[in-house]
Structures are given as C-alpha cells and as structure tokens.
A and B are shown apart, each in its own frame.
Chain A
Amino acid sequence: MLWTIAGTSMREITRRRAALLLVIALPLAFYAARADMQGQAIRFLALGVGWAVATLALFSHVGSRHLDRRLAVVGASPTALLLGRQLALIGMGLTLAGGYLALVAATQDVARLWAVGLLLATTVIIAAPLGAVVSLVLPRELEGALALLAVMATQMIADPEGTLAKALPMWSTRELTAYAVDPVGDDVLRSGLLHFAVVALLCACGAWAAAVVRLRPQTLPTPVNP
C-alpha cells in the first residue's frame, strides 16, 4: 500500500508541469542572484530548495485531502497516506538536491563539498514534513502558501545569531552552509545537525499527529444481529 501511495503521489506531482518548473527554477534564480558570494549563494540556493519543496508538499497534501479522507474511510491508515506522500516528496526533493549539488560542484570551489550535499538533504528532509504540517493546520492553498512564505522570508532575513533565527525551522541550513564554506570547527557541524534533528523530528511528529487527527475515521461497531 505504502509504495503504491508513494508512486501515485509522484505521478500526481509530476503532472503539474508549471508547478514543477517553478520549483526547479526558483532556487536557481536565488543562486544566480548571489553567485558572487559563495556562502550567500549556497545558503539562498538551499533555502530556495526548502521553500520550493515545502510549497510542493503543501499543495500536494492540500490537493489530495478529499481523496485521502475517502481512502481513510475505506481502510487506508492515515500513517501510510502521510508517509507515502512524504516519501514521494522527499524523493523528488533529494533528486532536485542532487542536481543542484552537481551545479555547485561545477560552478564553485567549495571547501567541504560533501557538506553542501548534506545541507541540501537536511533542508529537503525538513521541508517536506513542514509543508505537510502547514497543510494539515491550514488546509487551503492560499493561506498555507502565505504561511510558508512568512516563515521562509523571515528565515532569510533574520539575523542568524539572534534567537528568532534559531526558532525558525531552517536555521540548520545556515549553520551547515557556514561549515561547508568557512574554515570553522566541528562544533558548527554538531550544532547544525542537532538543530536539524530536533526540527525534523518535531515536523515529522507534528505532521503525523495532524494526519491522524484529520484523517482517522470513526471506529464504528459492527451491527449486532438479533
């Protein structure tokens, strides 16, 4: 069941060509805009990927909520419905990340290239469940997209040293970018990975809880026959 749901979700997403094109193009635009400064370029590329994957996840979950409800009523587990869709989204996000990693490798000389791959992956792994959480709390495309926009824009503008930035989901992306580009120590890597782990866990649990609350049908007893 899980893999069928994942495959079906993948097919659904890839059929929305215009959305896919924007998803692919947006991070590229960010990267190109800051190409002169390596750290900034990679950071905005990654945040762009995060925003794009989160928005894709939002629209994918919102668009399927009626069908998911119908499937849950006839016996699909809300966990499988959520997880299948997330697997498809993360798979697509990681593919996209792979492509961008190649781009960075070709156009930049980065101190720790593998860390760039790592930070792109962590961004995707946070972005997909983040989009799911927003979709389950605000199950409408416009409101959800605005919420994501607010989060992402604040993420990009806020001072990375301040407490606000640390409260936002993709602070780890900025930390890991610093680790990839600048000659900093392993403590930066550790704090980045720790933040990522906490946020990823929170987003995943939040998405799972919200899915169960929203999708799980009433358990109704079988009729007793006289």
Chain B
Amino acid sequence: MTASQWHESFARTLVEHGVAPGEARRLADDSTEEAQAANMHPADLFGPATAYAATMARAARPAPLQSLTRTRGPVVLRLTGVTKRYRRHEVLRGVDLTLRAGEVAAVVGANGCGKSTLLDICAGATKATSGRVERSARIGYAPQQRGVAPYLTPDEHFRLFGAVHGMAARRAVATGAHLASGLGWLPRPGIVAGQLSGGTQQKLNVVLGELNRPDLILLDEPYQGFDQDSYLDLWTQVYAWRDAGAGVLVVTHLLHDLDRVDHVLELKATEDR
C-alpha cells in the first residue's frame, strides 16, 4: 500500500470509529507530516492503518467529566425477597437488592441461574412469583437477545424509541449518534440492523437503553461481540452514566471490573441452593 493509500484508509477508519470528519482529517494530515518528518513509510512508523485508527480514535475520545464527589441519590430499584418459579422449576429465590441513583450493581452467577429473568422482572416484562419489586418509572432496558429490529436502520430505531419517549425525531437521532460515538461507532444511513456485525448490533442495543437518560438502566450482558477496546469503552460509559445520576444494573459473567461497582449480587445455581 502506498503512503497516500495508508492515509486515506486511516482517515476513513477514524470516521467509522466515531471521530468527527474534521478532526479525522486533521489527525490524518498530522500523521502524514509525522511520517514525512521521520522519513518513514507510515505503515512502518505507525503500523497497519486500521489498527492505528482504532487506537487513535479511542485516544481522541473525550474522557467523560469525572465528578469529584459522587452523590448517591434516591433509591431507583428495590427488590425484596423476589422469587420466580416456572411450574416446578425455581429460577430465583429470595433475591434482595437496593440500588440508588449514582450506583452501579453487577449481577453475576453461572449460566442458567436466572440473571436474565431477574432483569426481566426488574423491567416489568415478567411477573415475580412472590416478593416485592419497586423501581423508578423512567428506565432503560437492553435485553441480551433480540433487542433490535433487524429490518430497521439505527436512525429509524432512534426515531422510534425517541417517539415512545416523547423526544422529537431530530433530537433522538442526534442523541443516538452522540451516544454511539462514546462506544466508538458511527451509525451509517441505509444499513439495517440485521446487516451490522454482532458487536455493532449490541452497541445499538446499549445506546437504545440510554436514549432518554433514564433513572435506572438495565443491561443484560451488554458486551457481547465487543473487542477489548469496546469493552473498556462500555464500562467508561457505564461509570459516566452513574456519575450523571443514573442507577445502573449490569448482568455480567465477566468478573474483571467488579472492584469498581457498588453492589455485587451473586445468584446461585439451583444445585447450590
């Protein structure tokens, strides 16, 4: 690949990762000059254009404002003795949790121990067999599977969800694009969700859960199909939403970041109860 081809590929990939076109142009021009100053082919100096663009896009992403003191607000979710039974199969037993605004809770446990069911109960999609569920009215909900419509484009999703939330179409689309850039993704017109890669579909799924800035955000294994960078970006966003005053409940089976969350709720598998 020639130097100018490298630079074109670099600029294009930057835009795909959510960098504004003007800034992408500026970064590409800078890298051209750097390579010339070093008298090296850009691929030798920086590595492959697409990989370098992904790293630079992450570095260029503005870090969310870190609030110095975190205030814990009112309770946004309270579960008391929640139990769920299907016929003779008991999925959840006696689950308790109190989550406030400005906190993050992680729900962990082995596969099949009811994590998704618990999230559905919190959302109100499923009724608990017994126990008490109290939650804020404004919620965002990103289910693990089938949360997006395969035949609609991302922008159409934003408009649809925006209409349900009472947002004007233009504002919904702009908010969606802004949230997408936080996850390193640029929604393109004309491509329906079914044609997106698994990771990108999942980013759309997560963005739709945050579109109307809800008080409680429910995420079910939101990182599926994510590469390492996107996974880190996701947690950055989760903590940013927390700092902005939301309560976030994340179902996860990865234990990496548990030291930064406020609550860890472990669901035991039926054999261990």
Direct A–B contact present (CB less than 8 angstroms): yes
Which A residues contact B (CB, under 8 angstroms)? Answer: 1, 4-5, 8, 11-12, 15-16, 63-64, 66-67, 69-71, 73-76, 217-225
Q: State how many residues of chain B have any CB contact under 8 Å with chain A.
A: 38
A74 to B165, Cβ gap below 8 A?
yes
Which residues of chain B are near A5, meaning CB under 8 Å?
160, 163
A74 to B141, Cβ gap below 8 A?
yes
Which residues of chain A are near B164, meaning CB under 8 Å?
1, 71, 74-76
B61 at the interface (CB under 8 A from A): no
A64 to B127, Cβ gap below 8 A?
no
Of the candidates A64, A223, A224, the one whose C-beta lies within 8 Å of that of B149 is A64
Which residues of chain A are near B133, meaning CB under 8 Å?
218, 220
A8 to B160, Cβ gap below 8 A?
yes
A60's closest neighbor in chain B, by CB? B151
B222 at the interface (CB under 8 A from A): no
A219's closest neighbor in chain B, by CB? B124
Which residues of chain A are near B124, meaning CB under 8 Å?
73, 217-220
B212's closest neighbor in chain A, by CB? A74
Query: B124-160 toward A: CB 8 Å interface, digit per residue (1/0)?
Result: 1111000001111101110101111101100010011
Bound CA span A139–B160, Å: 23
Bound CA span A218–B129, Å: 12
Of the candidates A8, A11, A73, A222, the one whose C-beta lies within 8 Å of that of B141 is A73
Bound CA span A12–B157, Å: 11
B76 to A223, Cβ gap below 8 A?
yes
Which residues of chain B are near A220, meaning CB under 8 Å?
124, 133-135
Bound CA span A225–B134, Å: 11
A66 to B147, Cβ gap below 8 A?
yes
A217 to B123, Cβ gap below 8 A?
yes
Which residues of chain B are near A225, meaning CB under 8 Å?
74-75
B146 to A66, Cβ gap below 8 A?
yes
A12 to B152, Cβ gap below 8 A?
yes
B77 at the interface (CB under 8 A from A): yes
B152 to A222, Cβ gap below 8 A?
no
B93 at the interface (CB under 8 A from A): no
Q: How far is the CB of A221 from chain B (nearest CB, A)?
A: 5
Bound CA span A95–B200, Å: 36
B156 to A73, Cβ gap below 8 A?
no
Of the candidates B123, B136, B148, B161, the one whose C-beta lies within 8 Å of that of A222 is B136
Which residues of chain B are near A75, meaning CB under 8 Å?
164-165
A70 to B143, Cβ gap below 8 A?
yes
A12 to B149, Cβ gap below 8 A?
yes
Q: A74-B164, A75-B164 are in contact. List 20 more A-B contacts (CB 8 A).
A: A1-B164, A1-B166, A4-B163, A11-B151, A11-B152, A64-B149, A67-B146, A67-B149, A71-B160, A71-B161, A73-B123, A73-B141, A74-B140, A217-B123, A218-B133, A222-B134, A223-B76, A223-B136, A225-B74, A225-B75
Q: List 29 A-B contacts (CB under 8 A).
A: A4-B160, A4-B163, A4-B169, A11-B151, A12-B149, A12-B151, A15-B192, A63-B151, A66-B143, A67-B149, A70-B143, A70-B147, A74-B139, A74-B164, A74-B165, A75-B164, A217-B125, A218-B125, A218-B126, A218-B133, A219-B124, A220-B133, A220-B135, A222-B134, A222-B136, A223-B74, A223-B77, A225-B74, A225-B75
Which residues of chain A are near B134, meaning CB under 8 Å?
220-224
Which residues of chain B are near A73, meaning CB under 8 Å?
123-125, 139, 141
A1 to B74, Cβ gap below 8 A?
no
A224's closest neighbor in chain B, by CB? B134
Which residues of chain B are near A223, meaning CB under 8 Å?
74-78, 134-136
A218 to B151, Cβ gap below 8 A?
no
Bound CA span A8–B150, Å: 12
B153's closest neighbor in chain A, by CB? A11
Which residues of chain A are near B140, meaning CB under 8 Å?
74
Pick the most buried of A63, A70, A217, A218: most chain B CB atoms within 10 A of its CB.
A70
Bound CA span A61–B140, Å: 23
